[in-house]
Amino acid sequence: MSDQNKPVNYAAELNREMEILDYKSMMQQKFKEGEVKGRNEGKEEGREETTLEILRNMIQYGHSEDEALIQMGIPEGQWESLKEKLK
């Protein structure tokens, strides 16, 4: 039997097309989620770099590390981490 004479299973073809569309939709959603996550991580890294730059400037102009951290309103729990990165 040639391909032209085979009975067409429209339900199976429709199901396959739906699976492909679902897959593409899922992949687009995951891509968007990854973009958002990457942007957020980049913003957080940028904030930290800005904070470190300000702290370095404050220390350069005569503030102690602790004074600078207090004036910037940085929680004490983050002080040690930032002090390590300042060096």
Instruction: Give pTM, 2 decimals.
Output: 0.53
Q: What kind and span of H or E run contains 55?
A: helix 10-60
Closest CA to 52 of 74, 20, 23: 74
| Digit-coded pLDDT (tens) for 20-46 | 999 999 999 999 999 999 888 888 888
**4 falls in which pLDDT band (50, 70, 90)?**
low
Distance CA 24, CA 13 (A): 17
Closest CA to 58 of 81, 75, 82, 77: 82
